[in-house]
Structure 1
Amino acid sequence: MKKQFILILTGIIFLLVVRSAAAKDLVGTDSSNLRRNSEVGTTSSEIKMTNWKNRANLEISARINSLNGLVIRIQEFKKLSDSSKTTLIGQVQSEIQTMQTLLQKIQIETDQATLKTDLQSITKSFRVYLLFIPKIQILSAADRIDEIGDNMTNLVNKLQAKNVTQAALADANAKIADAKVHSQKARDLVLPLQPDNGDQEIFDTNKTTLKQARDEIKAGNVDLKVAMEDLRTIVKTLKPTGTPTPTI
């Protein structure tokens, strides 16, 4: 029986370690670099426009690929409501469509001034992109906290019937519950966030809110670690199956 609990605990630890790996930063190069690099060493307007279009294709395509990856991550969420997932996927797909439309316009543009304006709009979409990435990362972390918390709760329920320290079990349960409170607060903070579309005040508000949500995720992870230590200590006290109880 002790081996069974150790296996369960090991599985939970695996989730804590593997699934908490930080997502890679998918943010591409700002379009200001795109414009600056394309202008170096060029004198012909036609060559300049071709360079701009090529770089725009690379930048926008990379972001579209990243956003498609976010859709997959959202679909894999286990604890987020179906309605919230549908809303998020719709927002991401709308941004993908916007980028695809922009890319098509850039590729057929023949006027340099208009093309320059189109390139500047990539910066605007870049700010949208900068919101989606951390927003989905935070929601993913909240989902992970709840999933691990559920696994821990299942283990606590199995240990309830054993001759173990009930105070430690109660503490583990309390920490698991606290972790889920923090994960829900993180969700509630980021779900309403909308792209700033160049509005500095909204940008600053989003930035502050994202930080608050990250703090909630950190607090939730701390609670899970404390609960894990409680469970690890309890499992260590279990006697192997078949070991006779000492008599006095």
Structure 2
Amino acid sequence: MRLSHPLRVGLATLAVTAALGAASALPAMADSGSSPSPSPSASSAPTSSPSPSTSTSPTSSPSPVAKVGGCSGTQAAILACIKQRSATAVSNRETRLQQLTNDVNDSADITAGDKSTLLGQLQSDETSLDSLNTTIQNDTSVKQAWQDAQTIVTGYRVYLLETPKVHLVIAADTEATVWSDISSVMPALQTAINDSTASAADKEKAQTAFNDCTSQLAAAQSASSGVVSEVIDLLPSGYPGNQPTLVSARQSVVTARQDLGTCRTDINTIRTALGI
């Protein structure tokens, strides 16, 4: 009887745990990384107009100093500042997108269809961000540059949406593989219990663990089977309205991981009771 499949749960659980760790901060994570403006008030466009506001310099000079987000000075200085901050923000997000691409490519359990979909989305984001940065660098007014710069955050949501989405898909697909691996050896485990020469008490203990593992497998499949379809096509334009979907999906993946972990413990109990 082959019992190597259940042992794979240990390795797969590590993969799921790593993916969940990356997605765990999604309810509170700010989509900042390096945004065009470092100040909280600059994370969104000015409420009245994207054009520069004026405020009095903190020094004794009475001359007003124009400010947009974290950039201040003359119009030329503000424009140059926005362009520099935007270039940094785009670069940081492209680095994250490449990391996510590596995560997808390195996953041994992601399905071919999910892999293709995610890689296509990530490549599209990177290409579009490149184009957006070119647009910003060619902008000739503070107003237009500031408006375009906001799209780096609102148009892509690399940190708040894309990152947890990718990791949740990887985690759910990994759990599906673990579920399949364990399910494939369950008939052999039942046969081993039936044919065992262990004591009646040990056989009863093994059967109880087997029955529990069967229930845990069903619960795990129920919890995570819909995660991929729920999150893989979520769009930045739907954020923050689609954030509850991410939170719910993460809880489903956590629940499935716990169920599979319990099943793994049950299998170890069976092996110990039967001496196999």
Q: Decide whether aligned partners of structure 1 residues 101 and 78 sit closer, same or farther in structure 2, where only a CA change above 3 A counts.
A: same
- The answer as to 2:74 corresponding to 1:44 is yes
Q: Give the CA deviation at 1:96.
A: 1.4
Over the aligned positions, Cα root-mean-square deviation in angstroms equals 3.0
Letter in 2 for 1:210: L
Which residues of 2 match residues 12-161 of structure 1 at below 5 A? 12-17=9-14, 19-21=16-18, 22-23=21-22, 27=31, 28-33=33-38, 38-39=70-71, 42-77=72-107, 80-127=110-157, 130-161=160-191
Aligned with 1:33: secondary structure? coil
Count of residue correspondences: 230
Q: Give the CA deviation at 1:61.
A: 0.9
More helix by share: 1
Aligned partner of 1:222 among 236, 258, 272? 258
More strand by share: 2
Q: Give the CA deviation at 1:100.
A: 0.5
Distance in 1 of aligned mates of 2:38 and 2:254: 34
Q: Give the CA deviation at 1:211.
A: 1.9
Letter in 2 for 1:72: N
| 1:21-72 deviation per Cα after TM superposition (whole angstroms, max 9, x unaligned) | 2127795144342766742xx5233333322222211111111121122233
Q: Give the CA deviation at 1:9.
A: 5.4
Q: Decide whether aligned partners of structure 1 residues 53 and 31 sit closer, same or farther in structure 2, where only a CA change above 3 A counts.
A: closer
Letter in 2 for 1:223: D
Q: Who is 2:227 aligned against?
A: 186
Q: Give the CA deviation at 1:155.
A: 4.7
| 1:175-206 deviation per Cα after TM superposition (whole angstroms, max 9, x unaligned) | 1232122221212221342222xxxxx43431
Aligned with 2:275: secondary structure? coil
Which residues of 2 match residues 155-174 of structure 1 at below 5 A? 155-162=185-192, 163=196, 164=203, 165-174=206-215
The TM-score with structure 1 as length reference comes to: 0.77
Compare 16-25 and 167-176 and name the one that shifted more.
16-25
Q: Decide whether aligned partners of structure 1 residues 77 and 182 sit closer, same or farther in structure 2, where only a CA change above 3 A counts.
A: farther
Q: Is the 8 A contact 1:175 1:224 kept in 2?
A: yes
Q: Is the 8 A contact 1:71 1:92 kept in 2?
A: yes
Q: Decide whether aligned partners of structure 1 residues 87 and 130 sit closer, same or farther in structure 2, where only a CA change above 3 A counts.
A: same
Compare 74-83 and 164-173 and name the one that shifted more.
74-83
Q: Give the CA deviation at 1:84.
A: 3.8
Q: Is the 8 A contact 2:227 2:253 kept in 1?
A: yes
Q: Decide whether aligned partners of structure 1 residues 120 and 89 sit closer, same or farther in structure 2, where only a CA change above 3 A counts.
A: same
Distance in 2 of aligned mates of 1:19 and 1:217: 8
Distance in 2 of aligned mates of 1:181 and 1:79: 19
- Structure 1: runs of 5 or more not aligned: 197-201, 241-248
Distance in 2 of aligned mates of 1:52 and 1:159: 64
| 1:145-189 deviation per Cα after TM superposition (whole angstroms, max 9, x unaligned) | 122223333453443332253342232133123212222121222
Q: Who is 1:243 aligned against?
A: none
Distance in 2 of aligned mates of 1:83 and 1:16: 22
Distance in 2 of aligned mates of 1:77 and 1:8: 18
Compare 108-117 and 156-165 and name the one that shifted more.
156-165
- The answer as to 2:248 corresponding to 1:207 is no
